Structure 1
Amino acid sequence: MEFILYLILILFFTKVFGDLFVRLGQPAVLGKLIVGILLGPAVLGWIEQGSFIDEVSEIGVLLLMFIAGLETDLEQLRRNIKSAFAVAIGGIVLPFIGGYGMGLAFGLSQNFSLFLGVVLSATSVSISVQVLKDMDKLNSREGTTILGAAVIDDVIVVILLAIMMSVIGTGEEVSIGLLIGKKALFFIAVFVVGWFVVPKVMKWMAPLRVSEAVISAALVICFSFAYFAEWLQMAGIIGAFAAGIAVAQTEFKHSVEEKIEPIAYSLFVPVFFVSIGLNVSFAGMGNQWGLVIAMTVMACLTKLLGGWIGARTTGFNSRSSLAIGAGMISRGEVALIIASTGLQAGLVLPEYFTSIVIVVILTTLVTPPLLKMFLKDVKPSY
Structure 2
Amino acid sequence: MTDKIDIAPVSGKRDLDAFIDLSYRLNANDPNWVPPLRADMVELLTPGRNPFHDHARVQYFLARRAGRVVGRISAHIDELALAQPAEQGMGPGTGNWGLMEAEDEAVMHALIGAAENWLREQGMTRVVAPLSMSIWEEPGLLTMGHDHPPMIMMGHHNAAYQGWVESAGGYQVAKKLYTYDLDHVREGFPELVNRIVAMGERNPRIRIRRVNKADFENEAQIIIRILNEAWSKNWGFVPFTEREKSYAGKKLKPIILEGTNMIAELDGEPVAFMMSLPDINTRLIHMGGKLYPFNWVKLLWWLRNPKCENFRVPLMGVVTRLQNSRMASQLAFMMIEYIRRSAAGDYGARRAEVGWILEDNQGMVAIADAINSKPNREYTIWSKSL
What is the TM-score normalised by the length of structure 2? 0.27
Higher relative contact order (CA 8 A, sep 6+): 1
What is the TM-score normalised by the length of structure 1? 0.27
Determine which structure has the larger strand proportion and give its number: 2
Determine which structure has the larger helix proportion and give its number: 1
Larger Rg: 2
